[in-house]
Amino acid sequence: MIKPVVDLDWLRSHAGDVILADVRWYLDGRSGRAAYEKGHLPAAVFIDLDTCLAGPASPAEGRHPLPDPEVFAAAMSAAGIGDADIVVAYDDAGGVIAARLVWLLRAIGREAALLDGGLLAYDGELTTEAPAPPRAAFTPREWPPERLASLTDTVDGARVVLDARDASRFRGDAEPIDPRPGHIPGARNLPCRDNLVADGRFLPVDRLRERFAGVGVDGSAEVISYCGSGVTACHNLIAMEHAGLGAGRLYPGSWSQYSHTDRPAATGG
């Protein structure tokens, strides 16, 4: 399988062999599609997080539950992505959003990678021309249970649980969107944006491994990743794999599900 992260040189040398996917999305309500229409990488298709990469939001399931496999497959087909295609995804935030698409595809055995640095590191000309790819054949596959974690899994103490949110949200200093501040008791904070350097590229692998080792991840223990709604948690999972630390598991409901329960919330560092 393709490596989970590829750089611009790799992309240019495989330009005719991959499908580029623009997965911009903003928590503050700005339109990812509008950003795409203002300028994107040549030949890139737009993939909408809310309609393609997530199911309907609810307090019981969270803000971005996994999409139904049939819905996901239909979205990929409509974007011209078929079973045998290689997808390289990017955004303008170092891949913290685009990682959701990459993780979903890799979880079901499809070839996908993040473009290291994404739009911030791209040094070519952008375009406003949107491709119109023919519909492709993308076979639905169930999400593999061994790649997923439930709410109960996160609190049984048997695994390393990572929270990918910024430190202030982890501590409970502020909570801008979910009903309660804080974090899952026992979770360890590893803000996904700190996987990156200033231009949006990943830290060198040795420094990534140091970051993960600092929260108890050395490749020997099972890891669960969560965040606000199961999106940026995927960035930590891709970073883990990139650093040679295994695949890890995603808790899709994340804090947006947990915070609607009556389970205890921890605060502070």
Report if residue 135 sits inside a domain: no
Instruction: Give residue-wise pLDDT tens across range 66-112.
Output: 999 999 999 999 999 999 999 999 999 999 999 999 999 999 999 99
User: H helices of the chain, where?
Assistant: 8-13, 32-38, 49-52, 69-78, 99-107, 118-121, 151-155, 167-171, 205-213, 233-242, 254-258
Q: What is the mean pLDDT of residues 159-183?
A: 96
- Mean per-residue pLDDT, 217-245: 96
What is the per-residue pLDDT for 220? 87
The catalytic position among 52, 192, 227, 234 is: 227
Where residue 269 falls among pLDDT bands split at 50, 70, 90?
Answer: confident
Exposure class string for 58-79: b at 16+ Cβ within 10 A, else e: eeebbbbbbbeeebbbbbbbeb
The owner of tokens 């048997």 is 158
Indicate the pLDDT class of residue 157, thresholds 50, 70 and 90.
Answer: confident
The Cα-based distances of 73 to 33, 76, 162 in angstroms read 20, 5, 29
Identify whether 192 is a catalytic site residue.
Answer: no
The answer to whether residues 150 and 100 belong to one domain is no
Whether 116 and 9 share a structural domain: yes
Is residue 128 situated within a structural domain?
no
Determine, yes or no, domain membership for 265: no
Shared-domain flag, residues 18 and 116: yes
pTM of the predicted model as reported, rounded to 2 decimal places: 0.97
Q: For residue 28, is it within any domain? A: yes
Ramachandran angles phi, psi of 147, nearest 5°: -100, 0
**Which domain, by its residues, includes 112?**
5-121
Q: Within a domain: residue 137?
A: no
Number of domains in the chain: 2
Instruction: Kindly report the CATH number assigned to the domain that includes residue 105.
Output: 3.40.250.10
- The CB-side HSE value for 64 (13 A sphere, CA atoms) comes to 28
**pLDDT tops 90 at residue 150:** yes
Percent of the chain at pLDDT > 90 equals 95
Residue finishing a domain among 121, 136, 156: 121
> Same domain, yes or no, for 85 and 158?
no
The DSSP bridge partners found for residue 18 are 86
